[in-house]
């Protein structure tokens, strides 16, 4: 299938159809406005999930699948609710189900999850998905399972075979219709503070020009790459990350929060590209400057006083990951030892303080 791109800036048309870059440091779904997404490095999320497994000595893939399943279930239900409002008479028929899953597959490819294809399907009973160069099979499997359950209106099971170079995901119905309705994820939408983040936009498609400068999209392979580093990026739903973290906390306890902060900090410190600025305050501004374009939030105040860094972030996407990110940049710039404190997001903003312990 040919990939259509904007004739002026070259950005894939699907990116414009799927998401909206807002002036408040958020990226939201164009079809499901209540859904926020964020761009992250593929190996960044792998590092966190693998790091948790290593620290606790247990495979957490089932927990990841469960969190992703709940988010995928809610997203697909909301998406289909919009479609059914226009065309209820075709809801859940066999042809329509194929089209819906093809849409979900296409969305996964354009999110950078790999080259996904439906290779087998029995209406509301079975779904087989072949993926080449897959991003994190448990994440993808959980997301697909949630979409399947939303459409079939019954619980399912998922398994996968192979490795990330080539994996086969198999989903099968397992239970009676109606049970899934009781398990719906109830996302609590955070307060959103208006912002004044202005970016240069393409005159034709109105998307941020920086996207085409920053990323290279290979939609046939389902891979997006950051141009300056060559590292793979993925676009994930914030509800998915929060659902996974909530599942982990429910299974492993409150110490999981600190674990996530430490792992993110270690990753960011190791991979930080140090700016040319000599002044520490200016350097920190530069390090945190890409939070907005990635949909992570809007850093409105960044101040360095002695050995203390204080950052106010409006519309944060994840308290744990942002605290870890700020701490990681602080450690890369100022060295160790270092510690961090955060204030919870309750009114649309959070504070992160990094300091010498």
Residues in the chain with pLDDT values less than 70: 1-3, 31-34, 79-98, 100, 175-190, 277
Q: Which of 253, 233, 216 is nearest to 296 (CA)?
A: 233
Strands across the sheet with 349-355, in order? 298-305, 308-314, 349-355, 339-342
* pLDDT value of residue 132: 95
* pLDDT value of residue 356: 95
Q: Which of 309, 310, 272, 267 is nearest to 290 (CA)?
A: 272
What are the tens digits of pLDDT across the range 291-331? 999 999 999 999 999 899 999 999 999 999 999 999 999 99
Burial of 103 per CB tally in 10 Å (0-12, 13-18, 19+): middle
Is the separation of the CB atoms in 42 and 232 below 8 Å? Answer: yes
Is the separation of the CB atoms in 307 and 293 below 8 Å? Answer: no
> Domains of the chain, with CATH numbers?
14-252 (no CATH), 254-355 (3.30.1380.20)
* pLDDT value of residue 89: 42
**Cβ neighbours for 76, distance < 8 A, ≥ 6 positions apart:** 100, 104, 146, 147, 150, 151
* pLDDT value of residue 274: 82
Is the separation of the CB atoms in 248 and 60 below 8 Å? Answer: yes
Dihedral sign, Cα of residue 328, residue 332, residue 336, residue 342: negative
pTM (predicted TM-score)? 0.88
* H-state helical runs in the chain: 13-18, 42-56, 61-87, 94-110, 137-152, 209-214, 238-252, 255-271, 280-287, 319-334
Report the alpha-carbon distance of residue 354 to residue 156 in Å, rounded: 44
Report the alpha-carbon distance of residue 230 to residue 39 in Å, rounded: 15
Interior/surface letters 327-350, b for 16+ CB within 10 angstroms, e for the rest:
bbbbbbbbeeebebebeebeebbb
* pLDDT value of residue 205: 86
* pLDDT value of residue 354: 97
Is the separation of the CB atoms in 264 and 324 below 8 Å? Answer: yes
Q: Is the peptide bond before 294 cis (omega within 30 degrees of 0)?
A: no
What are the tens digits of pLDDT across the range 19-42? 889 889 999 877 666 678 899 999
Is the separation of the CB atoms in 111 and 218 below 8 Å? Answer: no
**Cβ neighbours for 122, distance < 8 A, ≥ 6 positions apart:** none
């Amino acid at each position: 299938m040919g990939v259509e791109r904007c004739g002026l800036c070259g950005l894939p048309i699907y990116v414009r159809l799927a998401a909206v870059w807002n002036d408040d440091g958020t990226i939201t779904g164009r079809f499901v406005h209540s859904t926020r997404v964020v761009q992250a490095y593929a190996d960044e999320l792998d590092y966190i999930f693998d790091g948790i497994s290593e620290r606790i000595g247990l495979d957490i893939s089932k927990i990841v699948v469960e969190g992703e399943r709940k988010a995928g279930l809610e997203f697909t239900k909301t998406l289909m609710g919009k479609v059914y409002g226009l065309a209820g008479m075709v809801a859940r028929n066999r042809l329509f189900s194929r089209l819906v899953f093809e849409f979900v597959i296409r969305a996964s490819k354009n999110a950078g999850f790999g080259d996904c294809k439906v290779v087998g399907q029995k209406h509301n009973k079975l779904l087989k998905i072949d993926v080449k160069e897959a991003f994190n099979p448990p994440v993808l499997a959980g997301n697909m399972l949630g979409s399947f359950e939303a459409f079939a209106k019954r619980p399912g099971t998922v398994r996968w075979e192979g490795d990330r170079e080539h994996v086969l995901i198999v989903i099968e119905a397992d239970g009676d219709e109606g049970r899934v309705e009781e398990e719906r994820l109830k996302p609590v939408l955070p307060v959103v503070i208006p912002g004044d983040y202005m970016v240069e936009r393409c005159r034709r498609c109105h998307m941020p020009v920086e996207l085409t400068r920053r990323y290279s999209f290979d939609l046939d392979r389902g891979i997006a790459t950051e141009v300056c580093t060559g590292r793979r990026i993925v676009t994930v739903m914030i509800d998915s990350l929060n659902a996974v973290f909530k599942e982990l906390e429910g299974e492993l306890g409150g110490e999981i929060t600190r674990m996530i902060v430490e792992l993110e900090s270690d990753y960011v410190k190791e991979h930080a590209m140090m700016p040319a600025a000599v002044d520490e305050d200016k350097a920190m501004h530069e390090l945190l400057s890409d939070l907005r374009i990635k949909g992570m939030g809007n850093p409105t105040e960044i101040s360095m006083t002695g050995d203390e860094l204080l950052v106010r972030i409006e519309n944060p996407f994840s308290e744990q990951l942002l605290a870890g990110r700020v701490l990681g940049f602080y450690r890369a710039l100022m060295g160790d030892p270092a510690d961090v404190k955060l204030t919870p997001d309750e009114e649309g903003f959070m504070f992160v303080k990094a300091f010498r312990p």
